[in-house]
Amino acid sequence: MKLSVPKETKFKENRVSLTPDVVKDLVKKGFEVIVESGAGLKSFFSDEAYNAAGAQIISDQSKIYSEADVVMKINAPSTEEISKMKKDGILISFMWAATNPDLVDACEKSGISAFSMDAVPRISRAQKMDALSSQANLAGYKAVIMAADTIGKIFPMMTTAAGTIRPTKVVIFGAGVAGLQAIATAKRLGAVVEVSDIRPETKEQVESLGGKFIVVKGDASVKMEGGYVKGVSDEFLKLQQELVAKHVKEADIVITTALIPGKKAPLLVTEEMVKSMRFGSVIVDMAVEQGGNVVGSELNQNVQKHGVTIIGEGNIPSLLPMNASDLYAKNIQTLLLHLTDKGAFKWEMDEEITKGSLITHKGEAVHPSVKKTEKV
């Protein structure tokens, strides 16, 4: 089976889908790997390293798609890239299929089977395949580092002959994977950390990391599925905003991490809340790529609003490409090995991981999120 690693083309993308160490392991297991020349350079992996690992380096991108049995990417390919794949070819990448109908249509027209890394079910035996968590973990860490680099003060309390410096106060919205890592990182740097999450069950995790949990009582409008928030009413969001407004006003740094799969990110920080913050404060909107949690945040821009710096970096894991690529490569390798046996795909259509992550199969949309309803 021939696997291919194209160079990522998304703006500001520095990651690569397979690292030389993972390529070496896959080659030992009998796979053939072709890598587009320069695919790993932004992650600090040279063509020579891939060659030494047993991969073939190819400069012609069209061959990367047309000659591969399985195309392995991080970001969803363009419809043009899909058209270059051979019929019955297989794609494994992030797809965000529910909000990317053109990509699904292209997969159908090209007759390919596509697995989406963001659709891997959140079950214990799929943890090693969970690319959403591996990348969010790094993003939570980096968000704190970016805020620390931007704010004009240190994080820890410091007593000096000239007086005592009060610790930085950090307020974090969301105690998912990214939020929990942000809490741990901010605490390690010496900050006082407060956390808001609509899921009361996260309180224990927040407190175990040294954060103070801001209690926001949930209601029937909060819908959960597979550990993710799937929906919440505007009325509940307004209540949450009112309850946390005082904490935001007193914060030096605010980090927002709230996402709802397949939907626009919920608005958590209003313009009034931004105005209330001290001059020189910093906000990191980690949901900016999906519409943003913060009024005034701009994708891939750092902007000043009412004396507050709002960081809108859209692809934070890409800022740590060595670690992010290494973790993603292990995630995608684990999924590939789960789906195959003796060099061929098993196509166990009722198996939970296959069923959860397979978006199209041989040109037919099969995932519930993209299945076309039959006309009466």
Would you please indicate which residues are annotated as catalytic (active-site) residues? Answer: 122, 127, 130, 133, 228
Tokens, residue 54: 């047993």
CA neighbor of 312 nearest in space, from 282, 270, 284? 284
Residue 354: what residue type? T
Please, are residues 140 and 182 in contact by the beta-carbon 8 Å criterion? Answer: yes
Sign of CA dihedral 277, 149, 142, 185: negative
Please, are residues 338 and 355 in contact by the beta-carbon 8 Å criterion? Answer: no
Compute, in degrees rounded to 10, the torsion defined by CA atoms 12, 17, 21, 27: -150
CA neighbor of 97 nearest in space, from 122, 120, 126, 124? 120
Please, are residues 229 and 238 in contact by the beta-carbon 8 Å criterion? Answer: no
Tokens, residue 243: 């309850």
- Write b or e for each residue in 342-362: b if 16 or more Cβ atoms lie within 10 A of its Cβ, otherwise e: eeebeeeeeeebbebbbbbbe
Three-state SS for 183?
helix
Instruction: Estimate the crossing angle of helix 131-150 against helix 321-339, to 10 degrees.
Output: 170
Please, are residues 333 and 117 in contact by the beta-carbon 8 Å criterion? Answer: no
